[in-house]
Amino acid sequence: MTSFTKLADNETPVIAVHPTRRVSKINPNIYAGFTEHMGRCIYGGIYDPGNPLSDENGFRKDVVNALKDLNIPVVRYPGGNFCATYHWLDGVGPKDQRPSRPELAWLGTETNHFGTDEFMKWCEVVGTEPYLCFNFGTGTLDEALAWVEYCNGTGNTYYANLRRKNGRQEPYNVKYWALGNEVWGPWQVEQTTKEAYAHKALQWAKALKLLDPSLVLILCGQDGTASWDYYTLKQCLVPAHSPLSTSAVPLIDMHSIHLYTSSDQHLPNATAPLAAERAIEITSSLIDLARIENKVPPSQPRPTICFDEWNVWDPIRAEGSLGAEESYTLSDALAVAIWLNVFIRKSRDVGMACIAQSVNVISPLMTTPEGIIKQTTWWPLYLFSRFMRGWTVSAHVSCGAYEGETAPVWLRSAMETPWLDVSASMGEDGYANLVVVNIHEERGFETKVEGVTGSVEVYTVTGEGVQVTNMKGKEEVSIQESKWNGEGTYEFPKHSMTLMRWKAE
């Protein structure tokens, strides 16, 4: 939680950090990833058989090692829009017997050479948990139940035995399952109404929890600010043992929202992720409203928000059907840092967040036949994942603010947009961590930082200008390490992200 007081630009900014004032636990799942059968994310990204950089499974070893550095706890699969026509049975069994199919989300051909068992194996190699998304377009409830049985079944049943026949004796124990993806969108195969979706989602949830009560089921929301979110939450957040629930456990555990931000102007681009902060606040209120109206008892766990698609993405600049390969700038890196600040500040409500996507497709990590490129956006993600864990702690920032246009437009009237965007955490290792993103293109800010004790480790992400990239053969943006004695003021450089660490007393 970070509060803000607006100052005139000529006044000295002050950031006060309170490491002992723990606000809420940071769920490690906010650093989750996403892999979809889109562009070069799977084929040529995480899976590249025949490449000398790949292992005996066909997995790119350089990609695996890079993702291990991020300590990614969960990865979502197989979509995304792709899942609306995906039939999981096409992707299991002998590869030479798997059918190739026309793929309608991104207008390609799906060979099905990479499917459920390959993804589960890849998750084991990376050291992450799987999160699977049901086909709510052309799929059926029977097909969904069969997939859960295949992944999690322990008995002498047909699909559990099929898994064993395909070489996996023990169950995968997949915990996280999404009840469809963006089914409200006109681009979606089998787009539906909120009324039809809510009815279907509730009925599927009943059956799925009867089969496996341990599942964490994730409702398909919109962007957190839509009537779709209110209606689906109102219809589906019902008390356990209600007339609509035959299960002793709640049917819905999380609510998914998606948002992508971008602008071709730096300041609207950098501040755009603050729209996600307001969306989280609204969604949180809608969850409370549904529980109040439906008389859900306080003993029933409160659903959290699954922000399972987020990133900087301009779909005109990086068209989805052409692979959506963005060339990210320093401005985009600062936007990603503010995205992550939002998740730290709102850790009470966010149970998972999946950057879309993990490799090649609107990704901080790109592959070539010879190696990998870490884009500008890789570095804030790396620093947050490495250090911003444990607890969100109280902080207050007093500084000037950007007052120009925002993207989306409504953000200007809904949120303040300070020059210094701040979050703070307290790790289990006893270190306090402070992130400060200075979005100003021309000015560093000499700032008084209160709450610092002793020597401070400093990690800075910046570059010569907001439009520099790492995609032209030179790493223009990376991490610069330094020290600060914690005395006096500290100047946060123009167009930069700074992470400070110190041993808290």
Residues with catalytic function:
182, 309
> 234-261: buried (b, 16+ CB within 10 Å) or exposed (e) per residue?
bbbbbbbeeebbebeebbbbbbbbbbbb
Beta bridge partners of 5: 398
Which stretches within 183-265 are classed as H helix? 194-211, 227-236
Half-sphere exposure of 477 (CA within 13 A, CB side): 33
State the DSSP code for 160. H
State the DSSP code for 224. S
Half-sphere exposure of 114 (CA within 13 A, CB side): 26
- Coil, strand or helix at 307: strand
Cβ neighbours, 10 Å, residue 296: 21
Return the C-alpha torsion angle 48, 52, 57, 60, nearest 10. Answer: -50
Q: Are 249 and 213 in contact (CB under 8 A)?
A: yes
Phi, psi of 344 (to 5 degrees): -70, -45
